[in-house]
Amino acid sequence: MVLERLQVRSLGIIENVEVNFGPGFSALTGETGAGKSLLVESLELIAGGRASAELIRSGDEKLVVEAWFDRPASECLEAEFDDLGVPTADEIVIRREVTAAGRSRCWVNDTAVTVGGLQRVASHLLAIHGQHEHYGLAEGDTQRRLVDTFGDLGAEASGVHGLWQRWIEASGEVRRLETARERRRDRMDTILFQEGEIDALAPTIGEDDTLRGRRLQLRHIARLQALTSDVVDGLGDREGAVVEELGRAERSVAQIAECGVDVEELLRLVTEARVISEEALREVRVLGGDLREDPAELDGIESRLHLLETMMLKYGGTLEEVLDHRERLRAERAELLKVEDRLESARKNAAAALEAYDKAAACLQSEREETSRAMAVEISRVLERMDMAGTLLNFHWTARSEEESPLKRDGLPVAFGADGVEEVELLLAANQGEDLRPMARIASGGELSRLHLAIRTVLRQRGPSQGLTLLFDEVDSGLGGVTAAALAALLAELAFHDQVLVVTHLAQVAGRADAQFKVKKTVTKGRTTTTVTAVEGEARNREVARMVAGEAVTDATRSHAAELLSPTRLSRKPK
């Protein structure tokens, strides 16, 4: 991918600058204070760097930086676009605004994104190496990725990431079931209470109706006794009662039959009436015999009905619904009891996932340590070409302790994540006899930039480039002569695979560039303004000559400048 165009408005002393870049190696040159650092600042804003209202040109309301990149074929970048809701297009346009109130806004392809979203997109397009490192070597995650790239450990790292994700899901299921178990304890208490309450009462369907009927009888026992007595009297206990009269009638009909009259049916009916009356008399006498006042039974019925009605209010409008509720409780209790079984199974799955992760992470770590040692050696060799001979590098790997972590190393709980267990810190001793110390604390801006160049060089030698736009600032700080020429050669080699932008004061570096842009400060109508101009042909020769000799340009310096520029006119092939 290539940064095709950069437009900067109202940034520092820049009023309005537009630069059109091409592929390959571009050098940004100019006097100290001309504004080269502002171009670096503008790209840092494009990369998602910190914004401040102090960057705005005096008198203006806001600064605006826009960058146009050709669209790379990158699945990772496409995934970022999908996640951020950014539409794809033939090119990628990033816009950053900072207002005088300090408010910062970002857009990618005219879609507003957060600064974090911008950083995610820009990390696939742009890398800035220098004193204001934003995507760099100072971060352990970056160092780990570089080691993985150098050692071609992407598949192994992806495997560890997948196993970590598996453990995350398995441990999440354990936590969910543990939470369910805690809830189950409270719910189980409720279930057991309600189920026990219903079982203790042991209701039966229709029991309440039966009890209400019996209660009605007991409440009216005296009246029932009087009524049954009247029925007994009417049927048989008094003279002329029904049974007695029907018996007399039956005998009379029999006598009629004796006289030759056919009264068989009549006799049957009268006889049937007498029998029914006698049965009714017996039934009513039994009924009357059962009718006794029983205050204790009435109290018992009242109490039982109260319990049943209370139960129906709590668990359903009828006893049938109460019993249905009990069955639901039993089913729920059985289901809750299965939580323990599922929890035990989930714990076994989580333990197996952690064991698999631990094994894979340990193997990956062993490969990383071996790879990082080889990488440090190769980086040191490249640094020797840039006047950093004797520089010692060491990728220091350590496991960070974390209380209650389920993963143990040497018996101690350690932190772990998607990228593995050990954290890495690049240690550096830039001078012989010095102790190794964290690179981020002791390396100068120039050393950081050269270190990045060395890393990019060894990575390119190991495999295909990521196709980034690489900006190097201060990479040539303190260099000259043969070392500067070697640095320029390294940058030129790197530019065969990545777009390389270099802020430089060295003629040797500018001379090897495919394109050169002169940054100049001018004063017009009392206002200082920075301009950026592509220099070619004789104008470029003059600029390189100025870089060689300052303002005292002679025929000799112009000739030397032409010699420095000659490699850019040759058809070069990547090594």
Site of tokens 């004061």: 505
The predicted structure's pLDDT at residue 134: 44
Give the strand pairing for 499-503 and 25-29: parallel
Enclosing domain of residue 28: 1-131+445-540
* Number of domains making up the chain: 2
Q: Using an 8 Å Cβ cutoff, are 153 and 364 in contact?
A: yes
Q: Which of 333, 362, 392 is the C-terminal boundary of a domain?
A: 333
Read off the amino acid at residue 349: N
Decide: pTM greater than 0.85.
Answer: no
Is the C-alpha dihedral spanning 233, 236, 239, 242 positive or negative? positive
**Mind listing the pLDDT tens digit of every residue in the chain (575 residues)?**
689 999 999 999 999 999 999 999 999 998 888 889 999 999 999 999 888 999 999 989 999 999 999 876 677 788 889 989 999 888 999 999 999 998 999 999 999 999 999 998 998 888 888 655 544 567 788 889 889 989 989 899 999 999 999 999 999 999 988 887 777 777 888 888 888 998 998 999 988 888 888 788 777 777 877 787 777 777 776 776 887 788 888 888 888 888 878 888 888 998 898 899 888 888 877 777 667 777 888 888 889 988 888 989 988 888 999 899 999 998 888 877 777 788 889 999 999 999 999 999 999 999 999 999 999 999 998 888 887 878 888 999 998 889 889 998 888 999 999 999 999 998 988 777 788 888 767 666 667 777 888 888 888 877 666 678 999 887 777 677 777 888 888 888 888 888 999 999 888 899 999 999 999 999 988 899 999 999 998 899 988 888 888 777 778 888 888 888 876 544 344 44
The predicted structure's pLDDT at residue 130: 67
The predicted structure's pLDDT at residue 1: 67
User: Do 209 and 108 share a domain, yes or no?
Assistant: no
409 bridge partner residues: 412
For 315, list phi and psi in degrees, rounded to 5.
-120, 0
Instruction: Evaluate whether residue 175 is within a structural domain.
Output: no
Instruction: Evaluate whether residue 357 is within a structural domain.
Output: no
User: Do 113 and 211 share a domain, yes or no?
Assistant: no
Nearest Cα neighbor of 74 from 466, 500, 472 is 466
Instruction: Evaluate whether residue 173 is within a structural domain.
Output: no
Instruction: Evaluate whether residue 172 is within a structural domain.
Output: no
The predicted structure's pLDDT at residue 135: 47
DSSP string, 411-432: TEEB--BTTBSEEEEEEEE-ST
Helices (H), 316-391: 319-384
Domain at 111, CATH number: 3.40.50.300
User: Do 198 and 328 share a domain, yes or no?
Assistant: yes
Strand order in the sheet with 437-438: 392-399, 422-429, 437-438
Instruction: Evaluate whether residue 408 is within a structural domain.
Output: no
For residue 215, the surrounding DSSP H or E stretch is helix 207-219
User: Do 8 and 107 share a domain, yes or no?
Assistant: yes
The predicted structure's pLDDT at residue 290: 67
The predicted structure's pLDDT at residue 517: 95
Burial of 124-145, coded b for 16+ CB within 10 Å and e otherwise, reads bbbbbbbbbbbbbbbbbebbbb
Instruction: Evaluate whether residue 259 is within a structural domain.
Output: yes
Instruction: Evaluate whether residue 497 is within a structural domain.
Output: yes
Instruction: Evaluate whether residue 228 is within a structural domain.
Output: yes
